[in-house]
Structures are given as C-alpha cells and as structure tokens.
Structure 1
C-alpha cells in the first residue's frame, strides 16, 4: 500500500533537547498506529510534525496530493461564538442531511453530543466536553487519515469502546497517542515508541510492544534481574488474560511463555487480604441507608454498601453518573442527604482527586516528598522518598526541580507520591491514569500489586481496573450500586441493553407464571451452553490468528469468522441478561 505521509531524516528540537533526531518513517493507507513513550519524550511533537502543525528543523515531510486529514491534538481549539452544531455539522445545509447518515448519527450519539445539546455554546463547555466536540468534528468527514492525541482522556469506559469500534469499522488510516492500553491493543496494528529522539517501530499493539521490551530485557539482564523486570511482569499479566492479545506467530508466543515461566502472580490475594485484616480490622468504610445527590441529580437512594479490609474495587459508570461524588462521600469530604457513613477506627485514608491539590511551590520535588516522610513501606517493599519518586517518573536529576516549575502531569504524579508516602491503608483513586504515561502506569500498578489495603478506583481505563481490582461495581443511574461479577464486559453488555431502543410493539412487562419461569430457566440453560461454545470457538480463533500471522488471506478469513462469533456472543449475553430478569 502507498504511504500517505513520509518523514525523511526529520529532526526537531525545543531548546537544547532533541525530541526527534534524524527520524524516517511513513504512514500507509489504512494503517492504524499507536504512539507510546514517556511524557515529554516527543510524542506530541511527532504528531504535530507529521500533520504539518509544526515544521521540522531539518529533513523532509511529504504528503500525497489531496490528502484528507483531520487532526485533534491537546491544543485543538474551537472557534469563538460557535455552538456544538456549528463546530461539528456546519457543512451540512439541513438537519435531514446529517440525520440520514448513520455514520454521522453514530458519532453524534457515541460521543455524547446529543446529551450536551447541539445548540449549546462551545464557550460554556468544560475542557473534556470541548475535546469531545473537537473529536466529533474530526470524525464526521470522509478522511484518509486521522491523527489523534490522547482521544480517550475525557471518555468513559463506554465511550472508549465506542471509539475503538468506530475506528475499527472505518478504513481510515490512524495515528494515535494514547496511554489507554486496552485501546492500543484493540485498535492498533503497529506501535511506534518515541524515546531519546528516535522512533522504534513494532508490529502489533500494546501486547506485542511489551513482548519486544521484555525480550530485550531478557537478552540484557541476569536471571534474577530478569525476574524482577517490570516488562516481564506486565507480559505475564497479558498472557494470563485474553489469549490473542498478541498477534505474534506461535513460536513468538512460546518464547513469551518461556520468558515468564518464573514470574509469580501479580499479587498474592490471600496474603494481602490477611495482612489487610490485621491492619484494618473488620470495619473499613460503610454506607448505611445512604441517599446521595450530585447537585439536583440523585445518585444513591437508601443504599447500604460495606467495603471491607483488602477489598479492591473498580467503580464504573457513564460521565455524570456520580462516581466522583460517591468517592468524596467515601473520603468523608461531603455529607449524605440521608443515612450515615461509618469509618473504621484504624483507617488511614488517602484520596487522589481529579483536582490538583495545593503543593509547596517553594520546595523541590524530593523535598516535597520527604516533607511527608523519608521512607515508606508498601506491603513488602521498603523505599526511600527518592526511590518512590523515581518509580513515579522523577529521575534523580528531575527530583531537584522546583515544584512551581512542574507540568500538570508531573504535579499529579507528585501528589500521588505524597499520598503513598503517608502509608495509607485505604486508597481512593479518582481517574489516576490522567496525565500518566504507560511506563509510569506500569510502575503504579506494580506498587499496587503488593499494597495490602483497601482500594477503590474510579477510572475509564479498563486495563487498569482489570489489572488492579478484584471486583467491579457500577452506577447505572437507578439509585443503587450494582456488583458486576462479569466485570467491565458485563457493564458494557448491560449498558448496551439499557441504551438500545425498545421495539415499538414491545409488550408491557408481566408477572411470570410458574410455566413461564420454567421456560425462562430452560432458555437460560440453553443460552449458557451456547455461550460456552462461542467462548471456546473465540479462543480457538485467537490461537489460529496467531498461528497464521504471516498468511494475509487466512487472516482475513479467520478475522471475519471471529467478528461473527463476537457479535453472536454479545447478542447471546444480552439475551441471557434479559432472560435472567424473568427468573429473579
């Protein structure tokens, strides 16, 4: 396939720091590329040079004639005095023109613009809402290439899945910077790593990139150092999850399995729970008959919820469902409208909010961490303040930077470091992945693996939730807190049932008779057996895809069958949920 854009020996520096140094690469038609690397390492600069927003200091950037390209960076601005409709649908002369286009309707609904209101002035929107409008404006066009910088930052779990599905369904080429590892693995077939002025290229998504890093570590490290290597630990997590998260051939999969043969489980849940009970006792945080509102919107209605020692909970829900309000209540920063909050006597609670706390600007980074404590014990790990700061993205030289000179992302990392230095036994984290690059996320997850306390995480990053949490709860807007044994997949399945329009002729719900109950039980059994068959076939197809990675014709055939299996599986799961309600 022809390249849409080529970079030839491109260099770009800001100040004395070279972010791109003699880089040559290209973007082919229909290619989907994920860009990863440390914060400040040059990812956004690469996107801006690629798309023509910034000119290189040297080298050449060439683009095919009449290239249709849309770019959404973190600096993208909307026009002044515009409405949502103006920004997204201005090139449609009439309402019926865009309303008749299923793709455009899907974008408007999928990014929540209908809920925002098409006539809403963009000047009145929050930063996250403005980013969604800019993203929608980019996607509605007929494009050859989409360039996106952190598009998932202001989307909830449902929105991230919608965006992934949308991009997969289009033939448009894509270059995307994101720290959302599930999104990278789902959408991207190629990965660029920007580091030290260079761009290393890898086939496959996040899992393949992790494998390549782990393989390099294996060749460079001793056996004991390898066992402790974070990349290998991350690879072990990936291999224990969905089998086809890697698109590598079978021999590469076998090499990966050999590489992680001596890596322990990410965490010993039994040991951590025992430790947590000794530290916390029986009572941690309890809500008794609590009612809660966010402004005028009800969040909880006479709910009792008990969070115990060692519980590791992921809390999900659409934007605006009240997750942050609930976390503030758990933290004791607000009062319920009714009922009461109970906190255990031994609880030492730390709350990482989305707002940046006031930091001591007159201090340097290391001094700000040592202000809390000089050493910290997190489970079995004992670290100095300097070691913890380094784990969270502050190398030795950066630790002497004045706090007032830090970026927003660095301030958030410093806030997290200070929280952990206080050795809390209950952690409440509200969108902890915001502004963290993948390497820092891996370090944070490694710290949490051995942290023996109670954890409640609000995050749109499903990879993080699946990685560090043992249970998932959801706010569906019905006044309750719903436990989801099936995790985020179950949440998305339930949400798809909730938002799907009911058939016009749908009958009113009836009370099930004994015969109807027996029929529903029989149907449940049939659906469960079908789910088992589909799950087994999905695993087989994943293995076959990995084994035939070098055969394009076979890959197309297998991928087509896999899509059909996944679609049927989603349908069966939805029908299982509907049927299960009849037997409750």
Structure 2
C-alpha cells in the first residue's frame, strides 16, 4: 500500500522545475532525491508534506498519514527557543505536557549533550540546528520522514550518528532525503529519484549505481534520437524525390505517396526526444597563480587552542609543498577550523614572520573561504562584491556573475536573496579573482550541489592547486586530497588512507 502517490505533478515558478512527475512511496522506502541547486527538491518535499501545492497534478495520501519534514533552516519563531523547547514545540499542544519525556529520550538517541539542550537555537552552530530540525520531524513518530539536505553543516561524526538513527527507525517508516552528499545517499538509500524539468528518472538503486543506470539510459536515448533523426532525413529525401517525379509525370498517386512520407517524417520528428541535458546552476572556476617555492607553508610545532585558551592539539613540524592538497580530518571540536583560522591570520597578505610557528614562502598568496562564507558579509549585493574585489569592467563583471549562476536581475539585488548554492558559487568566484596559489577551504562543499562539488574537485586537481581543506564530504576528500592529516590524541598526524578515519569518526 502506498503512503503517498504522486501523479502527473508539475511545478512552475519563473520556469518549469518539474513536470509529469509520477511516483509513489511505500512503507519502509529509502528514497534519495537528487537535482541541481534550485531545481525544486525543497519545493517537492514541501508539497509532499502538504505545506505547498504543485501547479498541476495530484497527490494522494494514505488515511491518517503522519509526515515529518526537516527543512534546511529553522523558522524564525524558533530561534529564541531552547533546543529542548524547539523540539517540544513540534508536539501537539494537547499532548506536549504529558509526552514531554519523549523529547529527552529522542535527544539521547541523537547524542545531544545536556549542555546544548538549554541553549537558544540562534546561538547554535548550523550543524546543531540541523539536528534540532531532524528531532522536530522525528518526535511526532512519522510514517514518512522528509529530510532536506540533512548532512549540510554536519561533521563526519554527526553524519554517522544520523545514519545510525535512520537505520534504527521503525521498519515501516519511509524516508525521503534530498541531498548532495553522495556517500550519505549510497549508505542510507536503496532508491534514487533524479528530479528533472521533464522526464524525471526513478531507479530502485542507491545513488552511485542509479547514476550509472541513468547515464546508460541517457546514452541509449541519444542513440535512439540520432537513429530517429536519420530516418526523418531519409523519409524527407524520399518525399522530395517522389514529389519531383510526380510533378513531372502528373501522377496523383505519387503526390499522395509524397504526402504520406512527409506526414510520417513529421510524426517521427515530433516524437523523437534527445536525452536530458542538465542546465548548469553556474560554473565554478579556480586559478593557481603558481609559485617557484617548494615548501609553500611550514608549521613548526604550533599549539592550537580554543577561543577560551584551552589547548586542543599540537601540530608537530609539518609543511605543505606545491601541489599538496591536504585534507584535515578529526572529530567535531578538535580544532580543525581553529588551525585554518590560525594559518589564515599568519599568512594574510603574504607577510612572513607574523606567527613564529607558521611561515609562508615569499611568493605565497593565500585564498580563504570559511564555513559561513563570511567573506560575503561585507558586500550588500553580488555586483558590489565583484566590483570591489576586482578590476573587471562592468560588462566583464556581469559576464562573470552570470557564468557563476547569478542572473542579471539578481546581480544588484540584496545578497541575502541568493540561495545557498549561489552564495557558495559567488564566494568561489571571489576566491578565483584574488588569484591565490594556496587555498584554505573550510567545508567548501556546503550548499554546493553534486555538479558544483565535482566542478570544484576537478578545478583543484586540474590546476594542481595547493592548500589545506576541511571537509565532511567523504567523496570530495577522496577525489581531491593528496595528503591526509588527522587530529588524534591532541596531536596532528599524517596517514596514508582516510578510510579507517572515516570509519572511526562515523562509528562515534
């Protein structure tokens, strides 16, 4: 029996996001929802939850169906509440007092520290806000759990906890997860829906295998389209020949035959469809301005401390050479971001000697992007960001912004109106325009769709870029990193294979 059945659903905003979408969710399903930034994933989840409507089409829900939706961002009304009260708020008022005990039981299952439970939502990290939203969706004991980018802002340990939580759900509870985290999708789903403006594709396979099946289907459709178009050209050539013969001979039969051939060509051409071509959400391009120095950065047994001065770890003596892309791994709170910040402060402006334990080569030109993309906060609009950060002409600036997926009407609008994916692409565009030869990237794949992640990885590798990056995206780390550093036991150590570290962090 279907929990929810979607039939011929379409959604149009300024453009068609999807059309003729038909699928169903049954008990126990684990469906991954995949599409580029801005292609309707969040909208589809809201429609399934009954919080929004499609343009056309129908949705049929099982009688008494309970749906829990964990959106990407908390509603503003929750920001002043404590973690515990924000979760309790999801319970129906008539049972909230009597069922209050369920909140702490659930937070125990999600490994939420006691100290966090009384803190206001606005003071929590993006990762803990994600956990709160998941708890709100789960506390109502849903038959169908809808997750919108559930791993965004989560470190590897929290992703592991999330996966264990999902695995422990009642067998009948169905889950739909819209996500750009390829490893997460492979681990938790057994079915994948690729959302497209037309001809969305549903495969009973986890993401990686479904993607391969989709590519094979698209290749076959392209071949079929080419064959059909060859037939169309052949039919029209025949029709032209017969038409000339019919005119010269005055044969009515040949005129009729000509019309039949032309009609067959028209019908075949109308039915022929090439495979879908995904329109890019915006290009990502990087640069590597190069350096003749072998060792770009040397770290000489620096002590990395928390903001309150508490010692987190010591680095030992390490260096990063030209072409090294070092991935920094470790549990949440061990000091990954603090090391990035320490390096950024020491190397800013290429001035040597600011930090006695950290030295950069004379030719070093660092570029930094943090988790919150705070480098964008100084600019009111995307246009202002580009013009103040470069010497581009007006036409060049417009072209660069458009290439990064920011349309003309959005270029002079408040920067706050940009989607997460657009903000990420704008931040990377500013980074490229600064022409660095050393990258400091803290969670650079946050908000990027799978296409964007692959573009970023490809640019880093193809440009031979050097840098230090922190990422919870296991697929991205495996694709990009040439070296792996791990924070273990208050020390920074180098390892050959991240696999065991991923496994340890995922297992908690």
Q: Structure 1: 5+ residue runs without aligned partners? A: 223-275, 375-383, 500-584
Q: List aligned pairs for 1:150-549, cutoff 5 A.
A: 150-170=149-169, 171=171, 172-196=173-197, 199-215=200-216, 218-219=219-220, 279-296=291-308, 297-301=310-314, 303-332=316-345, 339-354=356-371, 355-358=373-376, 364=383, 371=390, 393=405, 398=407, 401-405=410-414, 407-409=418-420, 410-476=422-488, 478-493=489-504, 496=507
Tell whether 2:61 aligns with 1:63. Answer: yes
Q: Partner of 2:230 in structure 1?
A: none
1:444: Cα distance to partner? 1.5
Higher RCO structure, 1 or 2 (CA under 8 Å, sep 6+) = 2
Q: 1:120 to 1:195 in 2, by over 3 A?
A: same
Pair 292,346 (structure 1): closer, same or farther in 2 beyond 3 Å: same
Q: Measure the CA separation in 1 of the matches of 2:205 and 2:38.
A: 24
d(CA) in 1 for partners of 2:383, 2:315: 47
Select which of 16, 26, 32 maps to 2:30. Answer: 32
Per the normalisation by structure 2, the TM-score is 0.73
| Cα displacement string for residues 465-492 of structure 1 (whole angstroms, at most 9, x for unaligned residues) | 111112222224x432122333143354
Change (3 A) 1:418 1:84: closer
* Alignment pair present for 1:135 and 2:134: yes
CA drift at 1:43: 0.8
- Cα distance change, pair 121–405 in 1 and its aligned pair in 2 (3 A): closer
Aligned match of 2:256: none
Which residue of structure 2 lines up, in the alignment, with residue 108 of structure 1? Answer: 110
Distance 2:358 2:98 in 1: 54
- 384-393 or 206-215, which deviates more: 384-393
Distance in structure 1 (CA, Å) of the matches to 2:219 and 2:399: 24
1-structure distance, mates of 2:20, 2:161: 37
Give the aligned partner of residue 144 of structure 1: 143
More off after superposition, 352-361 vs 190-199: 352-361
CA distance change for structure 1 residues 457 and 115 in 2, over 3 Å: closer, same or farther? farther
| CA drift at 1:84 | 2.6
Secondary structure, aligned partner of 1:195? coil
Change (3 A) 1:491 1:181: closer
User: Whole-Å Cα distance in 2 between the matches of residues 402 and 203 of structure 1?
Assistant: 40
Q: Is the 8 A contact 2:158 2:506 kept in 1?
A: no
The 1:83–1:200 alpha-carbon spacing in structure 2 relative to 1, beyond 3 Å, is same
Change (3 A) 1:93 1:298: farther
Aligned-residue CA RMSD (Å): 3.6
Alignment CA distance shift 1:414-1:302 (3 Å): closer
Contact 1:366 1:399 in 2 (8 A): no
Distance (whole Å) between structure 2 residues aligned to residue 7 and residue 340 of structure 1: 60
Q: TM-score, normalised by structure 1?
A: 0.64
SS at structure 2 position matched to 1:331: helix
1:441 Cα deviation (Å)?
1.4
Q: Tell me: CA distance 1:446–1:388, structure 2 relative to 1, closer, same or farther (3 Å).
A: farther
5+ residue gaps, structure 2, are 224-287
Change (3 A) 1:200 1:389: farther
Whole-Å Cα distance in 2 between the matches of residues 365 and 438 of structure 1? Answer: 28
